[in-house]
Structure 1
Amino acid sequence: MTLEHLSKNQKLILSIVCDAIGMIPFIDIIWAPLSGYIMSRLYKGNIGKFAGVFSFIEEIIPGTDFIPSFTIMWLYTHVFSSEKKPEETVIDID
């Protein structure tokens, strides 16, 4: 199973774990490229690429570790996005 095929709840848990790892001091040089890669694999398309670049930049810049970029992306994708997901399709049976 690839990262983009995880369920909504699994992505939230992974996002919280990744944000927690990103707050560990002095691992930014290792974590920044890894977080960018993970983020780009969690979300497909251009939005995933943008989020991966944002995550890398946020992690590599000192003092920005408090920003929960993975959780923000999860919220954007699953709460604030107006796109309907296949799992959210409602079928009305009369």
Structure 2
Amino acid sequence: MATMAIPVVGPFLDLAWAPYAAKSMSKMYPGKKGKLASILVFIEEILPFTDIVPSFTLMWLYTFVFSSANKPVENVVFEAEMVR
């Protein structure tokens, strides 16, 4: 969204940012979800005036908040060591 602050050149910087953002998304989230998210990020960055969509934040929420809420918590053992 920072590219929109630069008057004439800003929207054209998104042409360079879109492939980088898509590649970063696919690295951060491997598998089918990452591929789909990287395609959506690329489209979102290429289209004008869609920079306001927080695509990386939405993907994080989907991965760690909404998807993990459906998974049951298994037996988790925490080990602690007391230091004196």
Post-superposition, which runs of at least 4 consecutive aligned residues in structure 1 deviate over 3 A? Answer: none
Matched, 1:79 2:49: no
Q: TM-score, length-normalised on structure 2?
A: 0.72
Partner of 1:24: 3
Matched with 2:42 is 56
Partner of residue 44, structure 1? 30
Task: Measure how far apart 1:47 and its partner are.
Answer: 0.4
Cα-Cα RMSD: 2.2
**C-alpha displacement at 1:89, in angstroms?**
4.7
**Are 2:70 and 1:91 equivalent residues in the alignment?**
no
Largest Rg, 1 or 2: 2
Q: Which has the higher contact order (CA 8 A, sep 6+)?
A: 1
> Unpaired segments of 5 or more residues in structure 2?
5-9, 79-84
Question: Structure 1, unaligned stretches of length 5 or more?
Answer: 1-21
| TM-score in terms of structure 1 length | 0.64
- Check the 8 A contact 1:36/1:56 in 2, yes or no: yes
**AA paired with 2:17?**
W
The CA deviation at 1:65 is 0.3
Higher helix proportion (structure 1 or 2): 1
